[in-house]
Chain A
């Protein structure tokens, strides 16, 4: 009977917590759809990741008679916010893996192959298998390409050995990274972390992983034998000044050394040395453990399409959209959402959650011959884990203003247990609800 008592107690205890978590989850804008709009338009969505899948569900619900085709060659759907937890030994690799198919609604056609060509003038998308799709509206959401080849001397088959990690490469690589970090923190040595100079997914993730490595070294009693260095790509650790100050304070507290204006150029797995480009020339830093994060760019098919910004992020190719409506600035029937969108902030799932309703409203209004005020304000969120059991729930917008969901209750710049709970237990459920268009 003891067990059942525990369970009863806990079920009740969690109600308040989960209510809070659920509320956070839904901090975004509205659920799906009020009145349906009739149309015979053909909508093509490139990419069945977070943004593409959520939009497929929302548009299928919102539009009556529309033909919706979603294009993605990957059979697996990855819950990417879980990668950090996998790489910290807190979840198994399959925690982040589901299938692309299972999230898609009836009536949406999945083309299980990659797009090879986009012609926004002719309004067509060519698929890798040779098929050509004509579209009335196009949503570009194929995500991001990791440019692993840009790092000299590195290849993905090195991950998990010789202290080399690569959390971003996928669930299995995140698990291999954990194996490497686990071994490293048994003995200590030199840990070196950094981020690329390009835009990147979740700019907080490299910082989190630094904190987590520090935490494990402390728990295992090897922190005294461990040096941890964070090499920032610019003159700050984080793009939001007030958050940057806080992370600087915490890194001081944790004894994390910093370098600035360091961009990784090469890795020598034999000598265990990382080579960085710096304003004063190349600099080598030896490592016993590192997390390789490569430059990130829009997928090749997007960069070749003429949809990218011509004068911004020219080496990266993000789609040229209005930062508030997410509509293409030159092709009004084209939208972009998620990582590929050329907006100054927000390559996170939290951003997707706020972008998706905006794209939905803008597109539906356009189909109905109407306009809408729906606008994306740059919201993004980063539950910045500072150790196992604590995080800071950081939310901000285009203006670098903090926009806390629970002002006065959950302080954004405090290391809190409740923020950890949100990341650890509530986020995936929220994400799944978002995929189904329910949040």
Chain B
């Protein structure tokens, strides 16, 4: 447990998703993140109306993330064997929820900037 290089981490991800899919995901994630930062800076405020809808997307994101992980790892809920498994699964779900919320918020802001809101 002495060293964890970034290079190894990248190699692990490439192995998990395949090289092409992994880098595609990185690009998609980067674009969404940049878009999110862009709309925050542009609007200089969080729109709570959009945030509400974004929140509603969170359960969907959580479920999608969990099933995606099950799909790539050829496993399922029945394979949960102990507390650490549940913790990892909840972590996956949480990350999926946050990712979905950011995505939905960003998309809304792109489609409907504040001046177009009533």
- Residues on A facing B (Cβ under 8 Å): 1-2, 4-23, 25-27, 29-31, 90, 387-390, 405, 409-411, 414-418, 420-421, 424-426, 428-430, 432-433, 438-439
User: Looking at the complex, which one of B3, B15, B78, B81 makes contact with A425 (CB distance below 8 Å)?
Assistant: B15
Instruction: With A13-B92, A425-B16, A429-B14 as known contacts, state yes or no: A4 contacts B74, CB within 8 Å.
Output: no
Per the bound structure, the CA–CA distance linking A6 and B89 in Å amounts to: 15
Say whether B11 contacts A5, CB under 8 Å: no
Say whether A426 contacts B15, CB under 8 Å: yes
User: Looking at the complex, which one of A17, A22, A31, A433 makes contact with B88 (CB distance below 8 Å)?
Assistant: A17
Asked whether B7 is an interface residue with its Cβ less than 8 Å from the other chain, the reply is yes
Per the bound structure, the CA–CA distance linking A438 and B66 in Å amounts to: 31
Q: How far is the CB of A219 from chain B (nearest CB, A)?
A: 11
Interface bits B92-113 vs A (CB < 8 Å: 1, else 0): 1111111110111001000000
Say whether A9 contacts B84, CB under 8 Å: no
Per the bound structure, the CA–CA distance linking A16 and B4 in Å amounts to: 13
Interface of A is mostly: helix
Interface range for B: 35 or more
Q: Which residue of A lies closest to B89 (CB)?
A: A417
User: Looking at the complex, which one of A11, A30, A430 makes contact with B26 (CB distance below 8 Å)?
Assistant: A11
Per the bound structure, the CA–CA distance linking A13 and B61 in Å amounts to: 11
Per the bound structure, the CA–CA distance linking A411 and B95 in Å amounts to: 25
Per the bound structure, the CA–CA distance linking A16 and B5 in Å amounts to: 15
Q: Total contacts A to B, CB within 8 angstroms? A: 188
Per the bound structure, the CA–CA distance linking A90 and B72 in Å amounts to: 11
Interface bits B1-24 vs A (CB < 8 Å: 1, else 0): 111110111011111100000001
Per the bound structure, the CA–CA distance linking A389 and B72 in Å amounts to: 11
Cβ contacts under 8 Å, B4 to chain A: 19, 22-23, 26
Say whether B74 contacts A30, CB under 8 Å: no
- Residues on B facing A (Cβ under 8 Å): 1-5, 7-9, 11-16, 24-26, 28-29, 32, 57, 60-62, 64-66, 68-69, 72-76, 78-82, 84-85, 88-89, 91-100, 102-104, 107
Q: How far is the CB of A400 from chain B (nearest CB, A)?
A: 22
Say whether A11 contacts B3, CB under 8 Å: no
Instruction: With A414-B82, A438-B8 as known contacts, state yes or no: A9 contacts B96, CB within 8 Å.
Output: yes
Q: Which residue of B lies closest to A91 (CB)?
A: B74
Cβ contacts under 8 Å, B99 to chain A: 5, 8-13
Q: Which of B66, B75, B78, B107 has the most CB of A within 10 A?
A: B75
Q: Which of A14, A416, A432, A439 has the most CB of B within 10 A?
A: A14
Say whether A418 contacts B85, CB under 8 Å: yes
Q: How far is the CB of B66 from chain A (nearest CB, A)?
A: 8
Instruction: With A13-B65, A425-B16 as known contacts, state yes or no: A1 contacts B73, CB within 8 Å.
Output: no
Say whether B11 contacts A432, CB under 8 Å: yes
Q: Which residue of A lies closest to B2 (CB)?
A: A30
4 closest cross-chain pairs (CB), A and B: A9-B96, A389-B79, A13-B92, A389-B75
Cβ contacts under 8 Å, B3 to chain A: 26, 30-31, 439
Say whether A428 contacts B15, CB under 8 Å: yes
Q: How far is the CB of A407 from chain B (nearest CB, A)?
A: 11
Q: How far is the CB of B38 from chain A (nearest CB, A)?
A: 16
Q: How far is the CB of B80 from chain A (nearest CB, A)?
A: 6
Instruction: With A416-B85, A418-B85 as known contacts, state yes or no: A1 contacts B107, CB within 8 Å.
Output: yes
Instruction: With A420-B73, A426-B12, A430-B8 as known contacts, state yes or no: A12 contacts B82, CB within 8 Å.
Output: no
